[in-house]
């Protein structure tokens, strides 16, 4: 993203795919937020608070939050070139990987999460593509540095609804 931002032309647009998982972290201290957004890529893994993470799920959540924050930081630079950059944070989308998860050893947990989400289902690749198309079109020109959470309300339910039980297991 940083390298592409150096050559993007006016009117150009970029999309970074993140994940709903980044939205499952609580608020981070301002210093950590700034470091995730601004530390040179090759130095990120040297940050002490990241080195201290032992849980693989927590590491994944931090990586996805990092994507969102880096998009925000890059948007300021891309804007000077007349371009936009945003991130999309999908929930479970029916892909080969999701099909494996929905039929694998953790299938009951995934299926319960989907059934208790406000949408009551997984998303489709076309729904993600439609959002990306909008963001990259003339209709999305005023949107830059944003993250769009597209998960059928699963994250809303994680924090405030029927999926709050997941906070206890994560």
Q: Which residues are catalytic?
A: 60, 64
- 3-state SS, residue 16: strand
Spatial CA neighbour of 17 closest among 141, 132, 140: 132
Tokens representing 72 are 């925000």
- 3-state SS, residue 95: coil
**Edge-to-edge order in the sheet of strand 13-17:** 13-17, 84-90, 147-150
Q: Say how far residue 76 (Cα) sits from the centre of its chain.
A: 19
Residues whose CB is less than 8 angstroms from the CB of residue 90 and which lie 6 or more positions away in sequence, other chains included: 17, 19, 20, 123, 128, 150, 151
The DSSP bridge pattern shows strands 147-150 and 13-17 to be unpaired
- The residues pairing with 84 across neighbouring beta strands, listed in sequence order, are 13
């Amino acid at each position: 993203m940083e390298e592409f931002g150096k050559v993007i032309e006016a009117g150009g647009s970029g999309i970074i795919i993140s994940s709903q998982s980044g939205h499952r972290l609580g608020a981070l201290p301002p210093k950590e937020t700034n470091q995730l957004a601004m530390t040179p890529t090759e130095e990120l893994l040297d940050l002490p608070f990241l080195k201290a993470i032992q849980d693989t799920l927590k590491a994944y959540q931090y990586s996805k939050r990092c994507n969102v924050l880096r998009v925000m930081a890059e948007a300021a630079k891309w804007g000077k070139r007349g371009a936009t950059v945003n991130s999309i944070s999908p929930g479970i989308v029916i892909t080969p990987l999701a099909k494996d998860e929905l039929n694998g050893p953790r299938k009951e947990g995934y299926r319960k999460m989907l059934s208790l989400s406000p949408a009551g289902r997984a998303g489709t690749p076309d729904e993600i593509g439609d959002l990306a198309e909008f963001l990259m079109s003339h209709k999305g020109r005023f949107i830059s540095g944003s993250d769009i959470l597209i998960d059928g309300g699963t994250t809303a339910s994680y924090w405030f609804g029927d999926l709050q039980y997941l906070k206890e297991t994560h």
